Amino acid sequence: MTGRAAERFDEALAASPPHLDSPDLLPARLARACAAALAVDGAGLSLHVGLLRTPIGASDPLTAHAERLQFTVGDGPCLRANDDGEQIDFSLEDIARNWPELWAALIDTTPFQAVLSMPLPPPMGPLVVLDLWVRDPAALTVLDRADAQEVARATTEELALTVTGPEFPDDGSNWLDGPDARRRATVWQAMGLVGVAFGLDAADAIATMRAAAIAAGRVLDDVAEDIVAGRLVPADLRAAPGREDDAG
């Protein structure tokens, strides 16, 4: 690679802390390198396959939380970028117009004021999307889009090196075993339990869980963990089918 952004990316990746050395944490290392190379406040990588959206790495806990908020609402800049297949930038005002529940959650629990969401180029894109979060919207205004594309290319190349077979993403790539991805897998387990309990298909089951999480002011991942652990049964969900009728 050439160019200053590429050099900054390579330097940041080489300087990753030892606790991120394991293969499953490669996406976290890459997210940190993206944030450092582009001078943004947070970077996150997520995988999109049908209904399944899996966070695979974030530069920091706040960025990981911002992804969970988008997933809880079921829409947002990252999903829009994946759907459209092109990079999109959103200020908080843009997010408020499009997703008021996401806007409220972001201003309550994060310092972020704007985001640039961009699918990675092939071979990892558009299934893998990179979110770049900033505290000051002006930081996105001055962000060189050519630099962002250069860093996205570097990221997709690094991820591609670890793909071990043609059945991506189910080919044994170690970075799908990272802690963020494993936590999201709990959502799919809970979705199955809710679906069986109420005779719902996957889309309706996850919609029920989302509605319950939003009503409770929680992220969907936490609600799912409680369901799988038995701390919360599907009938206790505030948005469970039939609750309103039962209450009447």
Residues paired with residue 44 on neighbouring β-strands, in sequence order: 58, 131
The predicted model scores a pTM of: 0.89
| Residue 159 and residue 28 in contact, taking contact as beta carbons nearer than 8 Å | no
Q: Is the peptide bond before 169 cis (omega within 30 degrees of 0)?
A: yes
Query: What is the third-level CATH fold of 181-247?
Result: Arc Repressor Mutant, subunit A (1.10.10)
Q: Find where tokens 């972020």 sit.
A: 112
Query: What is the third-level CATH fold of 4-172?
Result: Beta-Lactamase (3.30.450)
Q: How many other C-beta atoms are found inside a 10 Å radius of the C-beta of residue 86?
A: 12
User: Going residue by residue through the chain (248 aa), what tens digit of pLDDT does each one get?
Assistant: 446 898 999 999 999 999 999 989 999 999 999 999 999 999 999 998 877 789 999 999 999 999 999 999 998 898 888 888 888 899 989 999 999 999 999 999 999 999 999 999 998 888 899 999 999 999 999 999 999 999 999 999 999 888 766 666 555 567 788 899 999 999 999 999 999 999 999 999 999 999 999 999 999 999 999 999 999 999 888 777 765 544 44
Domain residue spans of the chain: 4-172, 181-247
Residues paired with residue 53 on neighbouring β-strands, in sequence order: 48
39: left (phi over 0), alpha (psi -120 to 50) or beta: left
